[in-house]
C-alpha cells in the first residue's frame, strides 16, 4: 500500500527537492502551501524536472493558524516539516519570525500526534547548534545560546523551534511515543528546482555572478548541497537508527563566501569577488541595515562540523563543495534575468 507523507513547505527550495525524491520513491505526497496560487508552480516545476506528480496533492496550511492541520495529518504515515520563515535580515519585531517558527512546529507535532503518526522529520538548522560559536567543532550535543551577543532572530527562531519540538516529544506519555528526527543542515546551496532565485542562497549566488557583491564578509561555516539535504530527510523517515537523533547535514570542513567566489571564478564567471569586507564596515552597516545586523552572528565564524554519525548512520558521503557550487552557478546562470 502506498504510504502518504505530509510535506510542509513543499514550494520552497528544500521542500521541492524532498517532494521530488518522495514521488520518485513512490510515496503519495500531501504538500502544504500557504496559497492555492502556488499549486500550479509546484506541479510545473516538478514536471520540468521529469517527476510524475500523479501522487501529489495539496493542502493549504499557515504556520500561524490552526485551520487545516488536523485534516492534513489525518491519514498520513509520516510528517516531514520543512516549512519555516527564513530571511537573513532581522525583522522589526523578533516575534514576526520566532512565533511562526515555534508555533508552526508545534502545530505540525500536535496534528501528527492526533493522527497517531509514528515519526516526524523536522528541518532545523546547524545554527541551532553553532549559532553562538566562533570557532571549534560543532557536534549534535551542542545548543546555541540565544542570549549570546549578536545572535540573529533567525538563529533564535530555529533554536527555539527545535527545542520546542524536543520538549513536546519528550513530554509524551510512554504509551504514545511519537518518534522525532531532526535534520540540521549547514548553509544550503546546490541547484534549485525551477527558476525561483529569490531565496537567500540563490539570491546570493545570483548577485555574485552579476558582479554586484564587490566584497564578501569574512566567515566560514559548514555547507551542504540541497540534494543531500533532501536525501537525508527521506532516509530519516524510515531508518531504524534515526529516531531521536539530531542529524548534522553538512560537510565537515568550513567554507566561506570567498571560497564560493573562487570556485565560481575557476568555472569562468567574471562577476564573483574574493575581496573581504572589513568587519568594521559590516558592523557600522548593522546600525541601520537589518540584513547586515542579521549577519553579525556569523562575522568571524570559522566552525567545523562533526558529521561522522550522519555518515555512518546513512552510509552517506556529502556531495563535494566544488561540485555543489559549480552546479549552483550553472543553474542560477541559466535562469538569470538582467
Active site residues: 158
| Pairing verdict, β 78-81 and 119-123 | parallel
**Residues 16 and 67: beta-carbon distance below 8 Å:** no
> Under DSSP, is residue 304 helix (H, G, I), strand (E, B) or coil?
strand
Scan for cell 549566488, then name that residue.
Answer: 205
Mutual angle of helices 95-114 and 153-170, in 10-degree steps: 20
DSSP at 199: S
Scan for cell 556569523, then name that residue.
Answer: 298
- Give CA angle at 319 (20, 257), nearest 5°: 105
**Residues shown for the chain:** 338
Contacts of 106 (CB under 8 A, 6+ apart): 164, 165, 168
Distance CA 91, CA 97 (A): 7
Of the candidates 42, 49, 6, 44, the one whose C-alpha atom is nearest the C-alpha of residue 24 is 49
> Under DSSP, is residue 248 helix (H, G, I), strand (E, B) or coil?
strand
Amino acid at each position: 500500500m502506498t504510504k502518504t507523507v505530509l510535506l510542509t513547505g513543499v514550494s520552497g527550495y528544500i521542500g521541492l527537492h524532498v517532494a521530488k525524491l518522495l514521488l520518485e520513491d513512490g510515496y503519495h505526497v500531501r504538500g502544504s502551501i500557504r496559497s492555492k496560487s502556488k499549486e500550479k508552480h509546484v506541479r510545473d516545476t516538478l514536471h520540468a524536472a521529469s517527476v510524475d506528480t500523479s501522487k501529489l496533492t495539496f493542502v493549504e496550511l499557515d504556520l500561524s493558524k490552526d485551520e487545516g492541520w488536523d485534516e492534513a495529518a489525518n491519514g498520513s504515515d509520516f510528517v516531514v516539516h520543512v516549512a519555516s520563515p527564513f530571511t537573513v535580515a532581522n525583522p522589526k519585531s523578533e516575534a514576526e519570525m520566532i512565533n511562526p517558527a515555534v508555533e508552526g512546529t508545534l502545530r505540525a507535532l500536535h496534528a501528527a500526534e492526533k493522527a497517531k503518526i509514528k515519526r516526524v522529520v523536522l528541518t532545523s538548522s546547524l545554527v541551532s547548534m553553532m549559532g553562538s560559536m566562533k570557532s571549534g567543532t560543532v557536534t549534535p550535543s551542542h545548543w546555541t545560546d540565544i542570549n549570546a551577543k549578536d545572535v540573529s532572530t533567525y538563529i533564535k527562531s530555529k533554536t527555539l523551534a527545535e527545542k520546542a519540538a524536543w520538549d513536546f516529544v519528550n513530554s509524551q506519555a510512554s504509551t504514545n511515543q511519537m518518534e522525532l528526527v531532526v535534520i540540521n543542515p549547514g548553509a544550503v546551496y546546490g541547484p534549485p528546482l525551477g527558476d525561483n532565485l529569490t531565496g537567500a542562497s540563490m539570491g546570493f549566488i545570483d548577485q555574485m555572478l552579476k558582479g554586484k557583491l564587490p566584497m564578501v564578509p569574512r566567515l566560514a561555516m559548514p555547507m551542504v548541497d540541497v540534494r543531500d539535504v533532501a536525501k537525508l530527510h527521506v532516509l530519516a523517515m524510515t531508518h531504524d537508527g534515526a529516531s531521536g537523533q539530531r542529524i548534522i547535514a553538512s560537510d565537515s570542513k568550513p567554507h566561506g563566501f570567498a571560497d564560493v567566489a573562487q570556485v565560481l571564478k575557476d568555472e569562468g564567471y567574471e562577476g564573483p569577488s574574493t575581496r573581504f569586507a572589513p568587519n568594521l564596515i559590516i558592523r557600522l552597516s548593522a546600525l541601520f541595515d537589518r540584513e547586515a545586523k542579521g549577519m553579525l552572528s556569523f562575522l568571524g565564524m570559522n566552525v567545523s562540523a562533526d558529521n561522522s554519525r550522519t555518515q555512518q548512520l546513512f552510509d552517506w558521503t556529502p556531495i563535494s563543495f566544488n561540485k555543489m557550487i559549480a552546479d549552483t552557478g550553472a543553474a542560477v546562470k541559466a535562469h538569470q534575468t538582467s
